[in-house]
């Protein structure tokens, strides 16, 4: 299933209209040890680019922006008990991974503006 990336270091896996969102490994390294993640509630409508989650380390709190528009279907409850998953498995989209939430896409056309893995790697390389 294709994975897309944003310049704010979010990734989104897309399977039809079902999407899974998380932050990249690069982002978790920048953040340091993650202590808490605040996730959007199921049912919440998100617009692309809107801040929708917060990931906290000891010294900083960073916004996570919705890479695409849609409606949240589920948050990753495992992060509440074990926020360290974001560090150990940031790009894991399955159970046991550090994914943040799943949503139903409202406009798959938005994916055209996102990067693929190669472009993202190049983007990160230039930072």
Partner 1 sequence: MSMDETFTGNHALMLEEPLIFEIGASDRTGVDFDLAAVATDELAGLLRTAPIGLPGLSESEVVRHYTRLSRQNYAIDLGLFPLGSCTMKHNPRLNEKVARMPGFADIHPLQPQSTVQGAFGVIDELAHWLITLTGMQAVAMSPKAGAHGELCGILCIKAALEARGEDRRVILVPESAHGTNPATAAFAGFAVESIPATSEGRVDVAALKARLGPDVAGVMITNPNTCGLFERDMKAISNAVHGVGGYVYCDGANFNAIVGRVRPGDLGIDAMHINLHKTFSTPHGGGGPGSGPVVLSAALAPFAPLPFVERQGERFVLIEEETAADHHAQSFGRMCAFHGQMGMFTRALAYILSHGADGLRQVAEDAVLNANYILRSLEDVLDAPFAHSGPCMHEALFSDAGLAEGFTTIDVAKGMIDEGYHPMTVYFPLVVHGAMLVEPTETESKTALDQFIGALRSVALRAKQGDPSLKSAPHFSPRSRVDEVLAARQPVLVWREDRAGE
Partner 2 sequence: MRYLPLNDADRRSMLGVIGAGSIDDLFADVPAEARLDGPIAGLPLHASELSVERHMAALSGRNMAAGSVPFFLGAGAYRHHIPASVDHLIQRGEFLTAYTPYQPEIAQGTLQMLFEFQTQVARLYGCDVANASMYDGSTACWEAVGMARRVTKRSKALIAGGLHPHYASVARTMSKYTGDTLVEMTPNPLADEGAALIAAIDGETSCVVVQYPDIFGRVTDLRPLAEAAHAAGALLIAVVTEPVALGLIEAPGAMGADIVVGEGQSIGVGLQFGGPYLGLFACKDKYVRQMPGRLCGQSVDATGRRAYVLTLSTREQHIRREKATSNICTNSGLCALAFSIHMSLLGEAGLRQLAVINHARATAAAAALNAVLGVTVASGPFFNEFRITLNADAREVARTLATRGILCGVPLGRLYPDRADLANDLLVTATETTSDADIAVLCTALGELLS
Q: Applying CB under 8 A, which residues contact partner 2?
A: 35-36, 56-61
Residue 124 interacting entry, from partner 1, partner 2, none, C-beta within 5 to 8 Å by type: none
CA distance from start to end of the chain: 27
Query: Least separation, in Å, of the C-beta of 84 and partner 2?
Result: 15
Cβ closer to partner 2: 42 or 61? Answer: 61
Longest CA–CA span in the chain (Å) reads 38
CB within 8 A of 16, min separation 6: which ones? none
Residue 79, token pair as written in the block = 């992060």
Cβ closer to partner 2: 57 or 76? Answer: 57
Residue 107, token pair as written in the block = 């406009």
Q: Which of 18, 35, 78, 115 binds partner 1 (CB under 8 A)?
A: 35
């Amino acid at each position: 299933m294709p994975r897309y990336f944003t310049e704010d270091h979010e990734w989104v896996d897309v399977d039809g209209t079902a999407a899974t969102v998380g932050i990249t490994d690069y982002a978790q390294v920048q953040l340091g040890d993650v202590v808490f993640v605040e996730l959007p509630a199921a049912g919440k409508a998100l617009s692309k680019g809107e801040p929708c989650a917060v990931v906290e380390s000891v010294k900083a709190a960073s916004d996570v922006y919705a890479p695409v528009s849609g409606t949240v279907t589920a948050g990753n409850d495992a992060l509440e008990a074990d926020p360290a998953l974001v560090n150990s498995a940031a790009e894991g989209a399955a159970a046991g991974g550090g994914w943040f939430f799943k949503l139903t896409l409202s406009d798959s056309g938005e994916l055209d503006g996102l990067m693929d893995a190669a472009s993202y790697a190049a983007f990160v390389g230039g930072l």
